[in-house]
């Protein structure tokens, strides 16, 4: 369940930064896919998963930069821009994948992100079995959530991000550069989404396939909405959605085809959530609105 | 159209002058001028630019000549049939290819109209894919049951049910928008995935609609022979062009008439233009949101029925998981500027592109076919990206003309 939740968590927290700053990021799926491809490509080329991750980060940042430029400078519709990012990422990664690896697919000897085992924790009964030995990225994801909470709610930087996402005009008036903050936030979102993607390719399955993210970026988006644009509830949503994925993967062995319906659960729950049936979901006030300086 | 790439900090981008004349220079002036030329120039430029960048990608990554590649894609689309000097075997092949292109165009017109209709009401329907799937699911279900039914009646029933199902599926998003103000983008994305997994469940192993003969194959039953749409051009055994093509053309006319010549269309456009003003003018915004979404979904559901009854005849979980035609509809509508003629031409362009790059058509000597289909995806992405940018410029221009505040308004 944690393994299924990890890529979602990275992407959802990424989306949190972007949307808190007032830029809708429907392109999370594409940014994840970008990270997934460039992560494995980088790890393959450099024979190092660390460099692979860094290359994934850079690629995700670049993809996010495109989104940011169109959304912020050109004031393009953010949703259309994000949709375009998804198309582009699908095309670009598929294209490069075929061009570089062809029908054989990615090599199997690419260095993978290691599992870490923590000596004391490992020995704790029950808990140790679950968290004693986990992929490094799972820890990193949990750390990211904590960091995101600290940054967004406890630091001046976070205050700026929130200000820009709620009242850009007011933020501008007190001397915050709306453009800079939004650029930074969108780029961070791209990097985090790319990390989530890279975890899929070099941490989880250790290969790449066309469109391998298969909607996880959208589940992350759903988790973000479900978590009401807050880090810890978003993590909880990711865990819940990861749980339904894990269940859908495991159940068919024991029961009938109805298990697949668990895959639809995150989406149904999000529909219910946005309909206001589970408390109110309140997006940042200025989300989706391009900002013009005066 | 190379103008959107002005360096960050370009003055025209960042400042708002009080009246449009004062800023009718640079990007805005150009686009505005472009828009005035019957709105044809901007989309064409958008497409040309996207193809140009796609060509660069081909050149840089493979060293192949992009013109040869595009030429091969063009021939693969069968559009060379339109050139009278193409004769003999080439002409026969071109006819077969063109039939395939028009098959894709048929459903692209309909999913394009789905996105376009919602757009005219100020709604972004990203759910064309889900609505298309729901339409496919219902038409395959109706088409493969009631075997003894009268043919034309059976077809009519399958089409009607698929259309209604698409309308209902989109209607959920419309209703949520109208009643509780749920952003339709979010709800339609979620509904897409619910449709996908429902489809996988229905036709998957042990699923309620899985075929009766092979329990290990996750596919539906075939629709019965009499429920298939008649092929009027080409060999029915080789997926010739079916009469659904005319249904799609008729849908273009219906779209135009409903939108421009009826009270309903007036309401939809008024709300799309300015919901506050429409409300003030006594038009029910909520009602129009719902209706626009439902009609939008009806088009997409119809597209599903056309593909099932016209040439696919069955639905496998693989199709459900990998189909992206509804998303291409977004590009069709955007490039076609939501007009009937534009959607028709946009659908033809993407139909040709999709078919021209399919594995079957492209000679591996010229360009790897698997690469080419991804090239199509890149071009689609670029077109959407560029159109998104200049659409908003036109929109902003319109807002400025009406002297309304756009940003910083308290929500």
pLDDT tens for the 411 residues of chain B, in order? 333 333 333 333 333 334 443 334 444 444 455 455 446 666 777 777 788 888 888 888 877 788 888 888 888 888 888 888 777 778 888 888 899 999 999 999 999 999 999 999 999 999 999 999 999 999 999 999 888 878 889 999 999 999 999 999 999 999 999 988 888 888 999 999 999 999 988 988 777 888 888 777 888 888 888 888 888 888 877 788 999 999 999 999 999 999 999 989 999 999 988 888 889 988 889 999 999 999 999 999 999 999 999 988 989 888 888 888 988 999 999 888 889 999 999 999 999 988 888 766 677 777 777 788 888 888 888 888 887 776 544 554 555 555 544 444 443
C-alpha span between B295 and B136 (Å, rounded): 17
The whole model's pTM is what?
0.85
Joined tokens for residue B293: 């979404």
- Which residues share a beta bridge with A117? A133
Q: Which of B401, B363, B333, B409 is nearest to B93 (CA)?
A: B363
- Under DSSP, the state recorded for B312 is I
For A234, the 3-state DSSP assignment is helix
CB contact under 8 A, A66 and B385: yes
| Chain B residues touching A286 at Cβ < 8 A | 407-408, 411
CA distance B228 to chain A (A): 29
> Residue B233: inside a domain, yes or no?
yes
Residue B23 lies in a domain: no
- CA B205 from chain center: how many Å? 31
Residue of B nearest to A271 (CA): B187
Kindly state whether B189 is in contact with chain A, defined as any CB-CB distance less than 8 angstroms. yes
Residue B19 lies in a domain: no
**A23-54 pLDDT per residue, tens:** 989 999 999 999 999 998 988 888 888 898 99
Does the residue B382 lie in any domain? yes
Residue in A75, A268, A285 closest to B392 by CB: A75
Lowest mean pLDDT across A93-97, A134-138, B301-305, B318-322: A134-138
Whether complex ipTM tops 0.90: no
Can you tell me whether residue B231 is helix, strand or coil?
Answer: strand
Look at the block and give the residue holding tokens 């924790």.
A121
A78-82, A118-122, B102-106, B147-151: which has the minimum mean pLDDT?
Answer: A118-122
Q: Does residue B2 fall inside a structural domain?
A: no
Adjacent-strand bridge partners of A133: A117
Q: How far is A279 from chain B (nearest CA, A)?
A: 13
Span A168-180, pLDDT tens digits: 888 888 888 888 8
Instruction: For residue A269, give every residue at least 6 positions away whose Cβ sits within 8 Å of its Cβ, in sequence order, or none.
Output: A222, A226, A240, A241
Q: Which domain holds residue B329?
A: 39-362+369-389
Q: Is the pLDDT of residue A261 over 60?
A: yes
Specify if B204 maps to a domain: yes
* Distance to chain B for A160, nearest Cα, Å: 15
- Helix and strand totals (H; E) in chain B: 16, 2
Domain assignment present for residue B167? The answer is yes
The token pair that represents B141 in the structure block: 């279900």
| Residue B150: C-alpha distances to residues B153, B155, B156, B223 (Å) | 5, 9, 10, 14
Q: Does B205 touch chain A (CB under 8 A)?
A: yes
Assess whether pLDDT exceeds 90 at residue A166: no
Whether A94 and B374 lie within 8 Å, measured CB to CB: yes
A116 φ/ψ angles, rounded to the nearest 5 degrees: -115, 140
Element housing B294 (H / E): helix B285-307
Residue where the block lists tokens 């600290």: A150
Give me the long-range contacts of A101-106 (CB less than 8 A, separation at least 24): A101/A208, A103/B370, A105/A207, A105/A208, A105/A209, A106/A40, A106/A44, A106/A201, A106/A207, A106/A208
In a domain, B66, yes or no: yes
Q: Which of B6, B157, B249, B241 is nearest to A75 (CA)?
A: B6
Q: B313: Cβ–Cβ under 8 A, 6 or more apart, which residues? A: B143, B222, B223, B228
The per-residue pLDDT for B407 is 45
| CB pair distance less than 8 Å for B388 and A80 | yes
The residue with greater pLDDT, A115 or B295, is B295
Closest approach of A270 to chain B, Cα-based (Å): 7
The runs of H, that is alpha helices, within chain A are: 2-20, 28-46, 49-68, 78-101, 119-123, 127-131, 136-154, 156-166, 168-173, 178-198, 216-226, 231-254, 265-274
CATH number, domain with residue B146: 1.10.3470
Tell me, yes or no, if B164 comes closer than 8 A to chain A by beta carbon: no
What is the total count of domains within chain B? 1
- The reply to whether residue B396 touches residue A221, judged by beta carbons under 8 angstroms, is no
Please state, in angstroms and rounded to a whole number, the distance separating the CA atoms of residues B272 and B338: 12
């Amino acid at each position: 369940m944690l393994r299924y939740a990890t890529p979602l968590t990275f992407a959802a927290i990424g989306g949190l930064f972007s949307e808190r700053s007032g830029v809708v990021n429907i392109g999370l799926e594409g940014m994840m896919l970008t990270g997934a491809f460039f992560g494995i490509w980088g790890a393959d080329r450099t024979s190092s998963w660390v460099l692979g991750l860094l290359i994934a980060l850079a690629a995700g940042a670049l993809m996010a930069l495109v989104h940011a430029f169109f959304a912020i400078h050109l004031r393009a519709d953010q949703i259309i821009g994000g949709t375009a990012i998804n198309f582009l990422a699908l095309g670009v990664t598929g294209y490069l994948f075929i061009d570089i690896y062809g029908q054989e697919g990615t090599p199997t000897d690419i260095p993978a992100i290691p599992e870490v085992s923590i000596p004391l924790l490992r020995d704790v009964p029950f808990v140790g079995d679950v968290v004693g030995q986990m992929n490094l990225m799972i820890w990193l994801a949990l750390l990211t959530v904590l960091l995101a909470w600290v940054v967004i709610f406890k630091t001046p930087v976070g205050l700026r991000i929130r200000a820009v996402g709620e009242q850009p005009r007011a933020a501008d008036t007190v001397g915050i550069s709306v453009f800079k903050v939004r650029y930074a936030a969108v780029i961070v979102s791209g990097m985090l989404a790319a990390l989530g993607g890279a975890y899929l390719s070099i941490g989880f399955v250790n290969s790449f396939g066309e469109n391998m993210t298969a909607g996880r970026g959208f589940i992350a988006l759903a988790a973000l909405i479900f978590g009401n644009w807050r880090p810890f509830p978003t993590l909880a949503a990711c865990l819940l959605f990861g749980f339904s994925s894990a269940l859908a993967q495991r159940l068919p062995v024991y029961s009938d085809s109805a298990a697949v319906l668990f895959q639809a659960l995150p989406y149904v729950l999000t529909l219910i959530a946005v309909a206001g049936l589970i408390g109110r979901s309140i997006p940042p006030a200025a989300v989706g609105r391009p900002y013009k300086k005066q | 159209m190379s103008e959107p790439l002005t360096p960050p900090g370009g003055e025209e981008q960042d400042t708002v002058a009080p009246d449009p004349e004062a800023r009718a220079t640079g990007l805005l002036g150009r686009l505005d001028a472009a828009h005035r030329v019957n709105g044809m120039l901007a989309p064409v430029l958008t497409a040309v630019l996207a193809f140009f960048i796609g060509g660069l990608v081909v050149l840089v990554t493979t060293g192949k000549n992009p013109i040869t590649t595009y030429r091969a894609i063009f021939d693969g689309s069968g559009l060379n049939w339109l050139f009278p000097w193409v004769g003999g075997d080439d002409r026969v092949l071109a006819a077969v290819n063109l039939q395939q292109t028009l098959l894709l165009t048929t459903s692209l017109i309909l999913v394009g109209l789905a996105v376009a209709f919602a757009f005219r009401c100020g709604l972004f329907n990203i759910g064309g894919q889900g609505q298309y799937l729901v339409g496919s699911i219902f038409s395959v279900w109706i088409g493969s049951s009631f075997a003894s039914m009268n043919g034309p009646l059976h077809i009519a029933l399958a089409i009607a049910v698929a259309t209604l199902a698409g309308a209902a599926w989109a209607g959920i998003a419309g209703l949520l928008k109208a009643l509780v103000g749920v952003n339709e983008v979010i709800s339609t994305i979620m509904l897409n995935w619910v449709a996908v997994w429902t489809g996988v469940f229905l036709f998957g192993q042990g699923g309620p609609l899985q075929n009766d003969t092979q329990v290990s194959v996750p596919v539906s039953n075939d629709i019965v022979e009499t429920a298939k749409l008649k092929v009027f051009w080409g060999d029915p055994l080789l997926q010739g062009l079916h009469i659904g093509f005319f249904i799609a053309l008729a849908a273009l006319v219906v779209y135009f008439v409903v939108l421009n010549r009826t009270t309903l269309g007036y309401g939809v456009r008024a709300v799309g233009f300015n919901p506050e003003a429409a409300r003030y003018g006594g038009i029910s915004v909520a009602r129009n949101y719902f209706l626009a979404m439902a009609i939008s979904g009806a088009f997409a559901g119809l597209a599903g029925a056309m593909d099932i009854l016209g040439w696919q005849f069955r639905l496998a979980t693989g199709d459900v998981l990998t189909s992206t035609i509804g998303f291409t509809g977004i590009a069709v509508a955007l490039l076609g500027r939501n007009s009937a003629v534009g959607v028709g031409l946009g659908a033809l362009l993407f139909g040709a592109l999709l078919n021209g790059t399919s594995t079957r058509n492209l000679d591996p000597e010229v360009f790897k076919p698997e690469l080419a289909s991804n090239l199509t995806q890149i071009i689609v992405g670029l077109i959407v990206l560029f159109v998104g940018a200049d659409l908003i410029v036109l929109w902003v221009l319109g807002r400025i003309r009406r002297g309304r505040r756009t940003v910083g308004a308290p929500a």
